[in-house]
Amino acid sequence: MTLSSNPDRPRVDARQKVLGEALFAADQRVDNLLHAMTVPASIAKGQIRTIDAAAALEVPGVVRVMTFDDFADIQTTPASRGAYGQPGKGYQPMTGPDIVHRGEPVALVLAETLEAAIEGAESVSVEYDEAVEFTALMEQDGAEEASEVFTRLGHGDAEGAFAGAAHKVDVTYWHPQQHHNPIELISTTALFSEGKLRIFEGTQWSSALAGGLAGMIGLEPQSVRASSPYVGGGFGQKNGIQEQSALVVRAATIMGRPVKLVMPRGQLFHTASYRPRSLHHVRLAADTDGKLAAGLYRTEQQNSRYDGYNPLFGETPPRMYGYPNWAGEDRVIRVDTQTPGHQRAPHEHPSSYATECALDELAHELGMDPVELRLANDTDTDPITGKPYSSRHLAECLRRGARMIDWGRRRQEPGTLRAENGHRIGLGVACGNYKASMSPAIATLRLQANGVCRISLSGHEMGQGLRSVIAAELIEVLGVDPAKLDIRIGDTGLAPQMLTAGSWGTASVAPAARAAALKLRANLVELIGRDDFEGPAHVQLAKTRRPMLKVEIDTVPLGEGPQAIDNLRRGLPVTTGPEYADFMAFSWIAHFAEVHVEPSTGRVRTRRFASVIDCGRVMNRRTTESQVKGGVVWAIGATLREIGETDPRYGRVLNNDLAEYLVPVNADIDWIDVDVIDEPDTRLNLSGVKGAGEVAMVGAAAAIANAVFNATGKRIRHLPIRIEDLL
Amino acid sequence: MRAFSYSRPRTPEAAVAAFTDAGAGARYIAGGTTLFDLMKLNVEQPNHLVDVSELHGTDLIETSGDVLRFGAGARMADIADDETIKREYPLLAESLWRAASQQLRNMASVGGNLLQRTRCPYFRNGAGGVYPCNKRDPGTGCAAIDGLDRGQAVLGTSDACTAVSPGDWPVALTALDADIVVLGPQGNRTIPIADFYLLPQDTPDREFSLEPGELVIEIRVPKTAAGRASTYHKVRDRESYAFALAAAAVALRIEGGQVRQAHIALGGVATKPWRSREAEAALRGRAPTRENALAAGRAALAGAKAGRHNGFKIHLAANTIADAISIAAERSAS
Ligand SMILES: Cc1cc2nc3c(=O)[nH]c(=O)nc-3n(C[C@H](O)[C@H](O)[C@H](O)COP(=O)(O)OP(=O)(O)OC[C@H]3O[C@@H](n4cnc5c(N)ncnc54)[C@H](O)[C@@H]3O)c2cc1C
């Protein structure tokens, strides 16, 4: 079958979600449940001297207060929070008296009701040994520059080319700490049923949760089943085992009862992952025609003392344009904080912010239109490896986006375009890229003669619309009715579950669903002896008097072997890309922003946005556009609103709630216009899919910051850009 | 949050009696949008709540006499939507609908609104010994003054406290010389709004001139011809659902192109709702030109004192007053 373009379709689970029928992990009804609440450490570093639980135990309903004595035998492994797969890294709180970051759990209160658990937790009093000095921010004394240098990418003689170039910029950009704040809080529910440990947790990787916890607790991996029925926003914060996961499981073992913990948002600012602050030094050079001569890019990322979260800022920017010379390196600075981690467009958002703003500075220095500068440096080969790109329609994205935003009205001279009300208008452009990766997947597909169709598959629904992607392939190949479709994902009891992150969900799951559907169709064709039928496959099946057909399929991404399926089953990371044997693969996007700045107050509004995405074949126009709009909204927040403010004297995030951690509200968002290239990338996979969720945000912040410069003439080299910067 | 007892009397007198009976740990609760938050944060730990949300007759909105009368139990949303208020006193309506969110305004009472507590994060998020705070735990010190003070006040501060008085509605009421009618164990009294809020000085824990057990029952606003040419102009970090970085309540009576009467109050930059007689004097007798408006704005901020990161508020507030004067003047013309 040839690939068809997918029409606009509602999400298959839209109705359930709107009615509140979709049950998330913490919504599961569990009998005989104990509620747990954590007591957060009130110091940033040091040691617990005593824990007095007497008052807590007097709160009616409290049944037990657990401390590090109860958890001392939990092992820290490469699966633990903060290890990122690296042996010797990571940290599991409550396995001893040491405190390594502010807010880590120091006691766990178990009670018959949530209210009692909360009151109990507030009644525990913890005393610590004398204060130990700590460092909260990478700019402070005591911050430790790690000896390792990461992603040292380069080719040619960047220093030499930079020194000799006619036009150059040498600038430093700063990116703040940010927090994902998905609406669904992080929770763990653990119970034993039929001799198996059952865990419900909103996670993007249930196999690693099951396998990793088994390892930490000392259980057989087969005896643990993890379910993540829906994720109420993951954005990378739910990639792995959380600080509380093993504690809740162990508590359930000790108590012989189901235990549930939903960590309050105020605590999540200190226990869950977040985007770390980072510093970006960018040097770019070009000749007088605007041909890029060199790029030099050095970054520093703030990490905890113990984590394995590698800084990979340098991976994508050299792939944006045809840099003949490039040098990049990334370093980490370690301080006494909790582990940072992936947050939507993890390194690509900050790195594109810095490098695409620097490119705008270069365009200004050259006196060249920034769209022209980007087009002049378009390339179809990766400068670093010399391999061609599997597909790249970036120039078309730029041309279309420029038309959509009416780029022709932009003035090169900043501060010259005014609205009728006197507000300054600025237009800005920036581009983004994100690696096209894939994961192996396992699918079991069953079609009944009455039209009911069930598929069990690897992958997690995080609201990005993965179920709708699976549905699209089954509708196209088998003509199934979405109302009769039962899609089961996110549960290790049904299929091994891949990490669903890094924009590879659709590119992994769509080909698996398609391959399963094609195999089932082939079986059917064999059965009925003809392949020229039209309409739903089950109608043909019914004629054979067979009640159902069932197929199982493993899909292995390009360049991988059977080992990949093995690793998938074991909950190990298995992803490909962006480098493949014959090519490099990326998704691409061009963003255009129009901002209006009020002269008397410096208030910025993003009046219009135009974004054109090249993500391969579009599996669902509606959810793809939603992804891009969501990415743009994230970028508006990241550029103009969001910052986790740490007071270095306390090492604590000061604005640790949703009233004070400012994300955009409806009134902040105006017109966001999205277009898609929708060209299948069939060199990559059967479905022709690259990925949309991450690239959607890449470059969008720079488009806004560049528009602010165009409106005001001010280069603000930090985020967020706030009133005081423009007043 | 700690367990507490709860009562729901039907008359103001019974509410005061219930409060008095319960003693020092009692609190009134209306919409609960301030109080519950602070209870969850352990800033407030009442042992008894007297629910005043169902007191008879306290949801009054009366606009027909010489004074506007608002029962303490009237909802923010209802006054914000009142057609007469929107038309004759836009600054009152705007101060309400530019506050919080629709959901909160549906719950919150305008009496409880007067008594909301500061958003200073060191005050709110620091109970249980996390951050020192003279307002929450007198004598412990102020973490904000040498800390992340971007949001702190530049007017009316002391060495003990720089926390901003957060409300919008109280600023509009301050501009219009409202009176607060309260009922206490000793009976009724009326407090001019200028005396209702206290400067922090050495006792930032004392924010209101209410005595323990006193119940706000009504807010009275003398009618003024300046009401129509008025606005509550609010500048914040996002376009909705945020507290003010700077806000100005301005009401003008303009005759023959000159400002005859000016009411100007400031929010978001001061430790109490801040009436600026200086700005009013600077504007009176002059045309509401941009230049004069800016001069009035600067006059209001003449005594301002910047901290470490909040100096921009001085400039911002002056411009916000100027913008508000322009908006009010435009409304006078129409
Ligand atoms: C997220 C959020 C955003 C907000 N944004 C804004 C904003 O932008 N601008 C703004 O102005 N406000 C804002 N608010 C504050 C909101 O307006 C107040 O919380 C609300 O007006 C308080 O009214 P209430 O009836 O809920 O008071 P409650 O919470 O019930 O009570 C508040 C206080 O008043 C006391 N009290 C209540 N009624 C009486 C009475 N009749 N007599 C004596 N004492 C009484 C209580 O004991 C308590 O101390 C926001 C609140 C939240 C939660």
- Give the tens place of pLDDT for each residue, B314-331: 999 999 999 999 999 999
CA dist., res. A474 & res. B158, Å (int): 69
Distance separating alpha carbons of residues B54 and B33, to the nearest angstrom: 16
Determine the distance separating the centroid of ligand 1 and the alpha carbon of B115, expressed in angstroms.
6
Instruction: At A52, list the tokens.
Output: 């007095």
pLDDT the model gives residue A659:
92
**A671-676 and A604-614 strand pairing:** parallel
pLDDT (0 to 100) of residue A572: 85
Helices A700-712 and A348-366 sit at what angle, rounded to 10 degrees? 30
Which residues are paired to A351 by β-bridges?
none
Residues on chain B touching A266 (C-beta within 8 angstroms): 125
Which element (helix H / strand E) includes A525? helix A505-528
Owner of token pair 């909802």: B75
Q: Is the dihedral of CA A62, A64, A68, A72 positive or negative?
A: negative
d(CA A232, CA B162) in angstroms, rounded, equals: 39
Answer yes or no: are the C-beta atoms of B334 and B240 closer than 8 Å: no
Work out the angle at residue A662's Cα, subtended by the Cα atoms of residues A658 and A663, and round it to the nearest 5 degrees. Answer: 95
Beta partners for residue A407, in sequence order: none
Q: Among A424, A577, A559, A396, which Cα is nearest to A502's?
A: A577
Residues of A with CB under 8 A from a CB of B: 42, 115, 118-119, 122, 266, 600-603, 605, 641, 645, 647, 649-650, 652, 654-657, 659-660, 662, 664-668, 722-724, 727
CA angle (B80, B85, B88) in 5-degree steps: 145
C-alpha A394/C-alpha A403 separation (Å) is 14
- Using CB atoms, pick whichever of B1, B147, B322 lies closest to residue A600: B322
- The answer to whether residues A609 and A592 touch, using CB atoms and an 8 Å cutoff, is yes
Burial grade of B75 (CB within 10 A; 0-12, 13-18, 19 or more): buried
CA–CA–CA angle A374, A719, A273 (5° rounding): 105
Structural contact between residues A392 and A349, judged by C-beta atoms closer than 8 angstroms: no
Mean pLDDT of B244-262: 97
Q: Are β-strands A453-457 and A441-448 bridged in parallel, bridged antiparallel, or unpaired?
A: antiparallel
Which of A310, A392, A394, A296 is closest to A347 using CA atoms?
A310
Q: Which of A723, A725, A726, A727 to mutate to test the interface with B (most CBs of B within 10 A)?
A: A723
Between CA A133 and CA A663 the distance in angstroms is: 33
A125-128 and A586-597 as β-strands: parallel, antiparallel, unpaired? Answer: unpaired
CB A662 within 8 A of CB A722: no
Phi/psi for A283 (5° steps) reads -125, 125
Nearest Cα residue to B297 out of B320, B271, B331, B269: B320
pLDDT score at A337:
95
pLDDT of residue B203: 98
With a Cβ cut-off of 6 Å, ligand 1 is lined by: A 659; B 27-35, 37, 52, 72, 76, 99-100, 104, 107-109, 111-113, 115-116, 166-169, 215-216, 243
Q: Residue B89: pLDDT above 80?
A: yes
Report the gap between the CA of A583 and the closest CA in chain B (Å): 44
- Alpha-carbon dihedral A108, A112, A118, A119, rounded to 10 degrees: -110
Q: What number is the average pLDDT over the span B76-105? A: 97
pLDDT value of residue B24? 86
3-state secondary structure of A233: coil
Strand A125-128 and strand A453-457: the pairing is unpaired
Instruction: Name which residue sits closest to atom 16 of ligand 1, judged by CA.
Output: B113
Give the predicted TM-score (pTM) of the model: 0.97
**If you measure from the C-alpha of residue B24 to the centroid of ligand 1, how many angstroms do you get, rounded to a whole number?**
20
Which residues of chain A register pLDDT less than 70?
1
B174-202 mean pLDDT: 97
Output B279-284 pairs: Cβ under 8 A, ≥24 positions apart. Answer: B279/B321, B283/B252, B283/B259, B283/B325, B284/B259, B284/B260
The answer to whether residue B264 scores a pLDDT higher than 90 is: yes
Across the beta sheet with B67-71, the strand order is: B61-62, B67-71, B215-222, B179-184, B187-192
Closest approach of chain B CAs to the CA of A370, in angstroms?
A: 29
User: Tokens 């270095």 correspond to what residue?
Assistant: A648
Number of H helices, E strands in chain B: 13, 12
- Closest Cα in chain A, distance from residue B65 (Å): 37
List alpha helices for B110-182, DSSP H.
110-114, 121-124, 169-175
Please check whether residue A665 is in contact with residue B239, taking contact to mean a CB–CB distance below 8 angstroms: yes
Paired strand residues for B50: B7, B28
Q: What contacts B238, CB < 8 A, 6 or more positions away? A: A641, A662, A664, A665, A667, A668
- H or E segment to which residue A271 belongs: helix A265-271
Please, which residues have CB within 8 angstroms of residue A254's CB and are 6 or more apart in sequence? A66, A70
Task: Quote the pLDDT of residue A271.
Answer: 97
Of A698, A699, A679, A701, the closest CA to residue A690 belongs to: A679
- Which two three-digit tokens encode residue B240? 């909705």
Strand partners, A188: A261
**How many helices (DSSP H) and strands (DSSP E) are in chain A?**
18, 25
Q: How confident is the model at residue B312 (pLDDT cuts 50, 70, 90)?
A: very high
Start-end of H helices in A644-691: none
* CA-proximal residue: ligand 1, atom 18 (nearest): B113
ipTM of the predicted structure? 0.96
Q: Return the bridge partners of A113, or none.
A: none
CA gap B91, B264 in Å, rounded: 11
Question: If 0-12 CB within 10 Å is exposed, 13-18 middle and 19+ buried, where does residue A303 land?
Answer: buried
The helix/strand/coil state of B280 is helix
Mutate to test the pocket of ligand 1, among B35, B110, B240 (most ligand atoms within 8 A of CB): B35
- Tens-place pLDDT, residues B138-161: 999 999 999 999 999 999 999 999
Mutation target for A interface from B2, B238, B308: give the one with most A CBs within 10 A. Answer: B238
Between CA A40 and CA A43 the distance in angstroms is 9
Q: Which long-range contacts (CB under 8 A, 24 or more apart) does B243-246 make?
A: B243/B119, B243/B151, B243/B164, B243/B166, B243/B268, B244/B166, B244/B168, B244/B268, B245/A723, B245/B151, B245/B269, B245/B313, B245/B316, B246/B313, B246/B316, B246/B317, B246/B320
Question: Strand A453-457 vs strand B61-62: parallel, antiparallel, or unpaired?
Answer: unpaired
Q: Which amino acid, A515?
A: A
Distance, in angstroms, between A122 CA and closest chain B CA? 8
**Contacts A660 to B, Cβ<8 Å:** 119, 121
Q: Under a CB-based contact definition with an 8 Å cutoff, are residues A34 and A63 in contact? A: yes
Q: Which of A180, A218, A182 is nearest to A197 (CA)?
A: A218
List pLDDT tens digits, range B24-53.
899 999 999 999 999 999 999 999 999 999
Q: What one-letter code names the amino acid at B115?
A: L
Q: Under 8 Å CB-to-CB from A483, ≥6 apart: which residues?
A: none
Is a pLDDT exceeding 70 seen at residue B334? no
Note whether A654 contacts B121, CB cutoff 8 Å: yes
3-state secondary structure of A515: helix
